[in-house]
Amino acid sequence: MSGIVYSTEKGRLCPDCGEPVDSCRCETHRKSQVLGSGKVRVRREVKKRGGKSVSVINGLAMNEQSLKECCREIKQKLGVGGAVKGGNIEIQGEHISYIIEHLKKKGIDAKKG
Interacting residues toward Zn ion by CB under 5 A: 14, 16-17, 24, 26
- Which residues, at least 6 apart from 54, have a Cβ–Cβ distance to it below 8 Å? 44, 45, 46, 47, 82, 90, 91, 92, 93
Q: In whole angstroms, how close is the CB of 22 to Zn ion at the nearest point?
A: 10
Backbone angles phi, psi at 78, to 5 degrees: -90, -20
Q: In whole angstroms, how close is the CB of 15 to Zn ion at the nearest point?
A: 8
Q: In whole angstroms, how close is the CB of 33 to Zn ion at the nearest point?
A: 13
20 vs 93, beta carbon nearer Zn ion: 20
